Amino acid sequence: MSLYRFGSALLGAAILAAPLALPAPALAQANEQFIPSLSYRTGPFGPNGTPFADGYLDYLKMINARDGGINGVKITYEECETAYNTDRGVECYERLKAKGPTGATAIVPLSTGITYALIERTAQDKIPLLTSGYGRSDGSDGRVFPWMFTLPATYYSQMDAIVQFIKSKEGGSLKGKKISYIYHDSAFGKEPLPVIQRLSKELGFDLSEFPVPNPGVEQKAIWLRIGRQIRPNYVIMWGWGVMNPTAITEAAAVGFPRDKFIGVWWAGSEQDVTPPGDAAKGYMAANFHGTGKDYKFMRDIEANVLKPGQGTGEARHVGTVLYNRGAINAAMVVEAVRTAQERYGNKPMTGEQVRWGFENLNLNPQRLAAMGFEGFMPPLKTSCADHEGGGVVRIQQWDGKKWNWVSDWIEPNRKMLREMYEAGSAQYAKEKNIKPRDCANQS
Amino acid sequence: MDAIFDFLFGPLKEIWAYPTFFVEVVVGGLLTGVMYSLVALGFVLIFKASGVFNFAQGAMVLSAALSFVGFTELGVPQWLAMLLTLAMMVALAFVIERVVLRPLVNQAPIILFMATIGVTFFIDGFFQMLWGEDVKRLDIGIPKDPIEIHGVLVNTFDIVAAVVAGSLVATLAFFFQSTRIGRALRAVADDHQAAQSVGIPLQTIWVIVWSVAGIVALVAGIMWGSKLGVQFSLALVALKALPVLILGGFTSIPGAIIGGLIIGVGEKVAEVFWAEKIGGGIEDWFAYILALFFLMFRPQGLFGERIIERV
């Protein structure tokens, strides 16, 4: 071996061995909690995905700026654009799941399609999947879906609450009344069908169903049938994106009263009522949190993030329905980490530890006040078996300028819904050969 | 057997029983069909003059509407915003001709088609970057109230939209038939090389035709934008024009109009009277089925040119 070759080999070996020779502190785990953001700011659903993503990130930034992180653990984050496509959502998940010192804290896919694609993957990778107000409702059964969390409410809860609201408006009985259900022809729109079909039989109302093909830019035929032929007492809509303003415009075009028209909470944002203008006055939608900026946590975002020029998006999104929904989603993840830290110590939490946190969340009035969420959302408590935790829903109405509450918090029929969740999860467990956990033995 | 009989004739009984409602559906279909034609026109103009299927027409509709609303949000009066957007669309036509089309002269049509897909992504991204991705309201003062004419419900907005589309078609027909540029354009459409040999400048004609398609996109963008709000989904209305083009023919302006009307009426009647029997939501794909049915008898579309290639 020549001297040159020997020297090169020595140098190569030294370079390869260098990391092993680093002092111990340099290899220590960074005191950071990595929270990924699967967002969509482009494509047909970009106008809705953008304020959600802004609210999500602004809340995390606020926790860092105001509190120095979660009990001293700094939050790091990274956004990945899914464009609301399931394949890209899975790609984003695979890219981000192992980042940070303890991997992804939780996944918030903001898409029922991506949720379905990630249920098994997240369980395998031991990462909690948070689907606030979307995804599969029977995922609330924590015995079969230990890694999935549907808090604070599911589509099943929402549909039941909407029908209860209509019932109260119709004098306490729906017998002989007509309700039309217009829905996005996808897993999202079909999800609450079992609930409304069951309620139709139990409460005695006539149900007519109208699937709308994606994206829903043309609905004249459907609305002619609803407004001129069926003439229902109420219309319930499960729409997303351009489908919603189109439906409101067409409802007005056939003279269907907007104050008899109630949308899912994904059809209850400013983006849905702005294009129809005055035609949207009186239109209602469900919600599971407050709107506007008059909450302590919003003032904290204003002071710690927006004023110093650290806001993620445009200021006009702040306080809108979808911005606030992004914030509440981020808050749920942060609270799950905080709850887990109470048990495992103030350090970065692993997916398994965060899962425990999600399963033992107790957002009572005192905790909500400490979070600055007083009046923004009702109390919530999860358990091993109940991953929904709350399930209460409120109805809001658009007055042409802003959303106003027109109902109190509506408690859905927990007994009926639990029965339906368990039926769905039992079916899933059978298909996937899953043995449900015994929650009596869980600590 | 009963099920087939019920599927085929059940709706006909319903039509017979509710004739006024049937008329309402047909009128609604005709008025929607005119809106489809408006988008289809842009495709026809470019295909007629250059043989290029312009995939970017939907993106042009979006970009025109975004720019128009963007200017008005800056405080520019609507008439001036319209002029500025027109100027923008002409500028876009220049850029496309110079950067995309000219280097690809004499390339196969599929190459030009692929290039327009690239143009689509550029326009979508660039104009959303310029004006933002928010949903924007577009109000040009046309009332949207329903009115009843002899018991038939129609929407004021739809009637105005039909009148606007009709006027645009009449203007374009006059432009193509009776002006010097129109004749030159038709000559280019018939035979590029022959047109060039008699001194018709191909590049200039392309710029003109892309500019006219841009103007049509602006009108379509304003009408559709008033209905849906100005947002990315406007680009998707181009998909509604495809069955219209298949049915009407890619080279005929009257074909775009008649095709739009047939598709509009066909899909509405099918959705209202037949959809329930097969699960609903058939409007979108039924338009294509209808177009393909016509193709069985006239492969070139109702008004398209019959192309015979001899080898």
In a domain, B309, yes or no: no
Distance from CA of A250 to the nearest CA of B (A): 9
Distance from CA of B233 to the nearest CA of A (A): 5
In a domain, B266, yes or no: yes
**Phi, psi angle pair for A150, to nearest 5°:** -110, 10
- Residue B310 banded pLDDT, cuts 50, 70, 90: low
Q: What pLDDT, on the 0 to 100 scale, is given for residue A3?
A: 45
- Please give the Cα distance from A371 to A210 (Å, whole number): 41
Rounded alpha-carbon distances, angstroms, from residue A298 to A49, A110, A313: 19, 22, 15
In a domain, B232, yes or no: yes
Q: What pLDDT, on the 0 to 100 scale, is given for residue A29?
A: 67
Top residue of A183, A207, A217 to mutate, by most chain B CBs within 10 Å, is: A217
* Subunit contact B132:A314, Cβ cutoff 8 A: yes
Say which CATH architecture domain A156-287 belongs to: 3-Layer(aba) Sandwich (3.40)
Strand partners, A183: A211, A238
Mean pLDDT lowest among A33-42, A164-173, A335-344, B43-52: B43-52
In a domain, B311, yes or no: no
Q: What pLDDT, on the 0 to 100 scale, is given for residue B201?
A: 87
The structure tokens listed for A190 are 């079909």
Domain with residue B103: its CATH number is 1.10.3470
pLDDT at B311 over 50: yes
Residue of A nearest to B69 (CA): A275
pLDDT digits over B1-31, tens only? Answer: 777 777 778 888 888 888 899 999 999 999 9
Strand order in the sheet with A403-405: A206-212, A178-184, A234-238, A261-263, A284-287, A394-398, A403-405
Domain of B6 in residue numbering reads as: 2-297
pLDDT digits over B97-156, tens only? Answer: 899 988 887 788 889 899 999 999 999 889 988 988 888 889 888 888 888 888 888 888
- Residue B199 banded pLDDT, cuts 50, 70, 90: confident
Q: What pLDDT, on the 0 to 100 scale, is given for residue B129?
A: 86
Q: What pLDDT, on the 0 to 100 scale, is given for residue A16?
A: 47
| Higher-scoring residue by pLDDT: B49, B28 | B28
In DSSP notation, B218-274 reads HHHHHHHHHHH-BSGGGGGGHHHHHHHHHHH-TT-HHHHHHHHHHHHHHHHHIIIII
Please tell me if residue A400 touches chain B, with a CB cutoff of 8 Å: no
Over residues A296-324, mean pLDDT: 96
Q: What pLDDT, on the 0 to 100 scale, is given for residue B219?
A: 93
Q: What pLDDT, on the 0 to 100 scale, is given for residue A28?
A: 55
Mean pLDDT lowest among A164-178, A285-299, B22-36: B22-36
Instruction: State chain B's maximal CA–CA distance in angstroms.
Output: 67
- Residue A333 banded pLDDT, cuts 50, 70, 90: very high
Q: What are the residue ranges spanned by the domains of chain A?
A: 32-153+291-389, 156-287
Over residues A398-413, mean pLDDT: 96
Please tell me if residue B18 touches chain A, with a CB cutoff of 8 Å: yes
Over residues A309-322, mean pLDDT: 94
Q: What pLDDT, on the 0 to 100 scale, is given for residue A175?
A: 96
Q: What's the predicted TM-score (pTM) here?
A: 0.88
Top residue of A41, A188, A220 to mutate, by most chain B CBs within 10 Å, is: A220
B contacts of A43 (beta carbons < 8 Å): 232
Domains held by chain B: number: 1
pLDDT digits over A235-290, tens only? Answer: 999 999 899 999 999 999 999 999 999 999 999 999 999 999 999 999 999 999 99
pLDDT at A13 over 90: no
Please tell me if residue A401 touches chain B, with a CB cutoff of 8 Å: no
In a domain, B130, yes or no: yes
Supply the CATH classification number for the domain A32-153+291-389.
3.40.50.2300
Residue in A221, A252, A274 closest to B135 by CB: A274
